[in-house]
Structure 1
Amino acid sequence: MDWQSAIKGFRNYLKLEKSLSENSIEAYTRDIDKLKQYAETLLPVLKPDVIVLNDLRSFLQWVNELGMIPSTQARILSGIKAFYKYMLIEDIILSDPSELLESPKIQRKLPDTLSYDEINKLIAAIDLSKPDGSRNKAMLEMLYSCGLRVSELTELKISNLYLDIEFIKVTGKGNKERLVPISSTAINALKQWLEFSRVHVNIKKGEEDLVFLNRRGSRLTRVFIFMLIKKLAESIGLKKKISPHTFRHSFATHLIEGGADLRAVQEMLGHESITTTEIYTHLDRDYLKSTIIQFHPRS
């Protein structure tokens, strides 16, 4: 089998069988394309269905020598394993050459977070006199109040708002839906946008159910929200390097610092594995340590 056919089939598998988003499919495809590039440097050129374990080990060594960090190498390995799982399911290969591949050891980097005061300052920096001010405030309130991914925010639908019972339904990775509580502060900001500003937008056909729209009535991009947060950070002199995801990290960290159950936070974040959520317990330990140092008489 040639690479082009294998990658095309893999994309269809990820879309139809795994129900992954287009962004995830593109990420997996890029990883397999790196393996393809490596295979094409060899003589004879290796086809995807004849690659063996030693070839994959040599490829990972090649990736390492290119200077890619361990977390990137681990992600590429994950893509390769998914690719050969697909090949095995489709009976293109008889055995999985990636089965015994070991992932590089990586240190889990603690995510940057914002303090409650910094979040308040960022939201307060929004100019509510402008037409899009109420929208921008509602978006930031929801990023922090609900711990949403930026893609979940841009795809949020009016039909999935249950504000009377203070919940919203979110479609996350792999088209998995979850219910997330929403605070009264975020509800008030959302109502200001929906009832007083959004009603004046000339909405593009097909976008009528989306909560957040630009001035032309179309859905917002992730880049737009990233740039909005960057400008707000600059306006208050915040030196931290932040993104929309920083609000999600802060949401989780503040919950756990306040004593929230780890599994409850896992559900709200839409993490498939509890180990993904456990990174926030490291932040919690630092918080506890600083509290002991500051307040315990024996310190």
Structure 2
Amino acid sequence: MNTQSYLKGFGIYLKLERSLSKHSIEAYLNDVNKLFQYLEISGFDGNINQITLKTLRDFIAWLHNLGIQASSQARIISGIKSFFAYLLQEETIRKDPSALLETPKIIRKLPDTLSIHEINQIIEVIDASKPEGMRNKAIIEVLYGCGLRVSELTDLKISNIYPETEFIKVTGKGNKERIVPIGSTALKLLNIYINEIRVHLNIKKNHEDYIFLNKFGAKISRISIFNIIKELVVSAGIRKNISPHTFRHSFATHLIEGGADLRAVQEMLGHASITTTEIYTHLDRNYLHSVITQFHPRS
């Protein structure tokens, strides 16, 4: 079985027809590659048309035995289903063996959320007297103030800031663009960083439009953002498992607790489905009680 040929064709399909980002394409190809690894290990010697539903169920059982969590299994199954849909479309296979493949039930664990006080604590420990300090302040304010994914933050460009209307243009998953409001505090810090700090960097070619740069003048990496936040959280004395995504989660949670419409939050987060946004509505009982008291006719 010419696995490399299938992977190459699938990759081209994801890029040209699905318009997925490089990171997403790599994830899909890794998922399919896991299937091919399993087929080789299990001694499968048939062609692509001989893969059955039972083959795929045995593959998922193999993943489970390896200790791969249900959420990761679900993502891999999604990649496998897309792969076989592609093969069916190309008429490489006559029947889709993944059509009846079940996705494992996922128990959603709610991530830690930062309170407004804790976010202020993190910002307060940043040394703004250092060039990277002003950059890091702007990073935190934009992450929290706009609810961005870390990749959306690192890809943010100067040309996508509209200060006169207080909006930024963000490129999210699948290269989908959305317009997100940005607050005056975040705009002010961006302005200081861009005009007073960033201008003194020797900016590398093709990195001129990216907002957040490292000390070498190149676009800051996702890993750097993770490390910056980890150090700040430790300095602030916060004992929670905090990542860049925590600020996005806190952004959504604080909006909903403040009375924002779920659909509006969905739009700002760039979620394709409202069910994805609903995980951010883990509101405490006091808040829920206040909503009932305020809005229910029998209260």
Is TM (by shorter chain) over 0.5?
yes
The 1-side partners of 2:82 and 2:225 are apart by 31
Q: Distance in 2 between matches of 1:116 and 1:93?
A: 54
Q: Structure 1: how far apart are the matches of 2:284 and 2:275?
A: 16
Counterpart of 2:64? 64
Cα displacement string for residues 241-263 of structure 1 (whole angstroms, at most 9, x for unaligned residues)? 11111100000000001010001
SS at 2:246's partner residue? helix
Q: Distance in 1 between matches of 2:108 and 2:286?
A: 18
1:142 is matched with 142
Distance in 2 (CA, whole Å) between partners of 1:262 and 1:31 is 32
C-alpha contact (below 8 Å) 1:6/1:48 kept by paired residues: no
Q: Provide closer, same or farther for how the CA distance between residues 199 and 91 of structure 1 changes in structure 2, counting only shifts above 3 A.
A: same
Tell me which residue corresponds to 2:167.
167
Q: Where does residue 112 of structure 2 map in the other structure?
A: 112
- How large is the RMSD of aligned CA atoms in angstroms? 1.5
Task: Provide the secondary structure at the position in 1 that maps to 2:50.
Answer: coil
* Inter-partner Cα distance in structure 1 for 2:159 and 2:285: 40
Aligned match of 1:276: 276
Q: Aligned in 2, Cα 1:291/1:205: closer, same or farther, shift over 3 Å?
A: same
Q: Secondary structure of 1:168's partner?
A: strand
The residue identity in structure 1 corresponding to 2:82 is A
Deviation at 1:50, TM superposition (A): 2.2
In structure 1, runs of 5+ residues without a counterpart are 293-299
Within 5 Å, give how 1:1-299 maps onto structure 2: 1-281=1-281, 283-286=282-285, 288=287
- Give CA deviations for 1:28-63 in whole Å, capped at 9, x if unaligned: 111111110111123342433321111111111111
The offset of 1:288, in angstroms, is 2.1
1:288 aligned partner, one-letter code = Y
- Quote the sequence identity (%): 61
Deviation, structure 1 residue 270: 0.4
Name the CA shift for 1:48/1:287 in 2 (closer, same or farther; >3 Å). farther
Paired letter, 2:168: I
**1:152 partner letter:** E
Structure 1 position 138, deviation (Å):
0.6
Contact kept? 1:3, 1:47, Cα under 8 Å: no
Amino acid paired to 2:20? L
Q: Counterparts of 1:52 and 1:179 in 2: how far apart (Å)?
A: 44
2:49·2:94 contact (CA, 8 Å) conserved in 1? Answer: no
Matched residues in 2 for 1:44 and 1:16: separation?
31
- Residue in 1 aligned with 2:297? none
AA aligned opposite 1:51: I
Of stretches 283-292 and 136-145 in structure 1, the one that deviates more from structure 2 is 283-292
Aligned residues: 291
The CA deviation at 1:286 is: 4.2
Take 2:33 and 2:60, find their aligned partners in 1: how far apart are those partners? 13
Question: 205-214 vs 143-152, which deviates more?
Answer: 205-214
Three-state SS of the structure 1 residue aligned to 2:169 is: strand
Contact kept? 2:56, 2:98, Cα under 8 Å: yes
Query: Which amino acid in structure 1 is aligned with residue 119 of structure 2?
Result: I
| Higher mean C-alpha deviation, range 224-233 or range 209-218 | 209-218
Matched residue type, 2:63? V
Structure 2-normalised TM-score? Answer: 0.94
Answer with 225-234 or 57-66: which moved more: 57-66
CA deviation map 1:156-175 (0-9, x unaligned): 11111001100000011111
> In 2, are the aligned partners of 1:70 and 1:105 still within 8 Å (CA)?
yes
SS in 2 for 1:180: strand
Change in CA separation of 1:140 and 1:131 when aligned onto 2, cut-off 3 Å = same
Please state whether the residue corresponding to 1:49 is helix, strand or coil. helix
